[in-house]
Amino acid sequence: MDTVREIRQFNRFYTRLVGLLDEHLPDSDLSLLEGRATYELATGGKQTAADLARTLDVDKAQLSRALQTLKRRKLLKAEVDPGHAKKRLLSLTPAGRVAFTELEHGTRLRMESVLEPLSGTKRKKLVSSLRDIQATFAASDAKPPAVVLRAPVPGDLGWVIHRQAVLYAQEYGWDWTYEALIAKILGEFAAAFDPAKEDGWIAERAGHILGSIFLMKGDAAGVAKLRLLYVEPAARGLGLGRRLVDTCVGRARELGYRRLSLWTNDVLTAARRIYETSGFRLVQENRHLSFGKDLLGQTWELDLLNAGSDSRAATAGTR
């Protein structure tokens, strides 16, 4: 068997199938590299051009040209890193996030049209084969697969409800009324989702969900809520919870919120230190009987207008 020939044949087939030989991405006027850079900034948050080049594994000069194009089109902005004055952090402008949303929508529609003829069984076989390919090459690569933050897709909200309910039952002994609460929160979020004021992220690595966080409208004008942050036990200690919260805080600022609030319980003691060092301030406590336990609820707030841009928060425990 000529392995090289088989791979090249598959590459030709796949590039024709999804339109990668076109000058621009399908349903977009962005080039492939511009689209990939936009995706990484939308899902990975602020980063330097050098970090982006390493993530994308592309030539720095080639990436620089793509970034300049995005800047000219006002889709990309650069700002000084508060922690390193000589570094510039790249992020998407509001127009850039709109472009990303349109690109993501168009990409999903195109892939759904490609997958439409396949039955459920064939789709499962396809996904299994794709994961086998990734695992085969990852086995000889010292660098583990990257964790990406992506927008929720159908099925994700049900998974988040299931996993949070299971984990909190195992770790804190909470009963199924907690599951009812988070199902209500996410059901209302999905039913009345406002992309101009809300957002959500699913952390994923190699097809496996590792955590989530949601930015939701608050009860008062200019106030947003950080809700339903969770990280899988196997992914804790990797800084993922902090990354999720940073992403949520940054997005709240982009959308023009003045304040970000969250509600948690005192049993999550590790969260207190992280909230405090992030600039969150404990503003209220109340005892309550919920989820089958006597708990001390806490409300924390972050002033988005005055707090530093390097916000940090807890890795678990918000609702």
Of 189, 187, 215, which Cα lies nearest the Cα of 201? 215
Instruction: Write the pLDDT tens digit of every residue in 26-70.
Output: 566 788 888 889 988 888 778 888 888 888 888 888 889 999 999
Indicate whether 314 pLDDT > 60: no
Integer CA distances (angstroms), 253 to 68, 213, 247, 282, in order: 24, 16, 10, 20
For the residues 290-301, what does the mean pLDDT come to? 94
Instruction: Write the pLDDT tens digit of every residue in 143-163.
Output: 667 899 999 999 999 999 999
Cα 227 to Cα 262: distance, rounded to the nearest angstrom: 7
Q: Which pTM was predicted?
A: 0.61
- Ranking 68-77, 95-104, 133-142 by mean pLDDT, the lowest is 133-142
If you compute the radius of gyration of the chain from its CA atoms, what whole number of angstroms results?
21
Cα 99 to Cα 71: distance, rounded to the nearest angstrom: 13
Q: Residue with structure tokens 């159908």?
A: 154
